[in-house]
Amino acid sequence: MNEALIIKTYQEGISSVINLVKSINDELETVRYKLEILEVENQKLNGRITDLESQVKKNSSKPPSSDGLKKKPRNMHKRTGKPTGGQPGNEGRTREKGKTPDDVVEIKPKQCECGCYLSDVK
């Protein structure tokens, strides 16, 4: 609010001054209400920060593998006690590589995992 507005309101009379003071009071009450809300939210956030910091302090000396997350077992199958592989006496057959392939397909990646471009690399 500037000085010119205050002088103009004063010159308009007492009712204008009362209305101006009421509007200023309403604005002040709105600001107080918003401030109370922000203070409550601030207290909640400070409490959350304190909780998170205490969790970090508790876990800081532990290795990541012991942070409480359970890993799935590698093999979900139940063991039967039978030996692995084929039955005794079975020769078994494995398909072998061909000596002269029909087609050769060259696969050239454009970029490696670290992000380097491989266009100049043979």
First to last CA, the chain: 73
Find residue 117's DSSP bridge partners: 111
Q: What is the pLDDT of residues 49-106, one digit of tens each?
A: 999 888 877 766 666 666 566 666 677 777 888 877 778 888 878 888 888 888 888 8
In a domain, 22, yes or no: yes
pTM (predicted TM-score): 0.41
Whether 61 contacts 67, CB under 8 Å:
no
In a domain, 46, yes or no: no
Residues, the chain, total? Answer: 122
In a domain, 78, yes or no: no
- Domain encompassing residue 21: 1-32
In a domain, 89, yes or no: no
In a domain, 2, yes or no: yes
Q: What is the pLDDT of residues 92-121, one digit of tens each?
A: 788 888 888 888 888 888 888 887 878 777
* 19: nearest Cα among 5, 38, 34, 2: 5
Q: What is the pLDDT of residues 3-41, one digit of tens each?
A: 998 899 889 999 999 999 999 999 999 999 999 999 999
* Counted domains in the chain: 1
